[in-house]
Amino acid sequence: MHGEKQWARLCGLIYLVVVATGLFALMYVPGQIVVAGDAAATLANIQAHQALYRAGTAALLLNQIAFLLLPLALYRLLAPVDVPIAKLMVLFALLGIPLTLVSAGERMVILDLINADPQPPADRLSELVALSRLRASNAMLFAWTFWGLWLLPLGYLVFRSGFLPRVLGALLMLGCAGYLANLFGHLLIPGHSASPLASFIRLPATIGEIGICLWLLIVGRSAVTADPHPRPE
């Protein structure tokens, strides 16, 4: 049991890296640099704060390394609950990584463009950077599909485990629905992503993921409170 508790805490530590780097790369850095609806101002901010932009790109790459390890670590912890569902969790998580790396690659293209010698004319540079940002944004948008989908089997396994809080499992499953709702809202409803509704819909995933991260890190694996009834492969 001691070894399992330590493994659960290792999962929590990896999850903490995912959460911290994700918040920095996907929320803090864009919040400091991106000016909605103003490509020229955004480009000026990138040029003025290259170190921050590079740090955000590096954080995104670190985030994806950690996110590669996270489902594999969680598989060992949660596979005894339901092996096929645990495999599905790993599959959904890994499928989103290539899309996110495409987005990271476009960020590198932007850095190459603004440091090119000779540099394109200002109007052309602004256009090229805007196109790269659009490609990066679209790749990240479709990565949401798998960021949401992996939460469904993860939440189910947490809910049925008997050694992790059921409320966190329920929030993670709701978080899956929230990711998908925001994805289709973005595709079908202009301005949805910037609306208060989109922020509200993200809450279950945010609370569930931070909650399970902290629970694993601090508590680890608690005593079994119910028979998880593991299924055969």
For residue range 50-78, what is the model confidence (pLDDT) as tens digits? 999 999 999 999 999 999 999 999 999 99
Burial grade of 223 (CB within 10 A; 0-12, 13-18, 19 or more)? exposed
Name the residue range of residue 29's domain: 2-218
Query: Cα(100)–Cα(90) distance, rounded to whole angstroms?
Result: 16
Q: What is the pLDDT of residue 29?
A: 95
Residue 201 lies in a domain: yes
Q: How many domains does the chain have?
A: 1
At residue 56's C-alpha, the angle toward residues 48 and 134, to 5°, is 80
Residue 233 lies in a domain: no
Sequence-distant (≥ 6) Cβ neighbours of residue 6 within 8 angstroms? 220
Distances (CA, A) of 27 to 30, 89, 168: 6, 25, 23
Q: Is the pLDDT score of 90 beyond 90?
A: yes
Residue 226 lies in a domain: no
Distances (CA, A) of 173 to 77, 158, 177: 18, 10, 7
Q: What is the pLDDT of residue 223?
A: 54
| pLDDT tens readout for residues 176-195 | 999 999 999 988 998 888 88
Mean pLDDT of the chain: 90
Residue 159 lies in a domain: yes
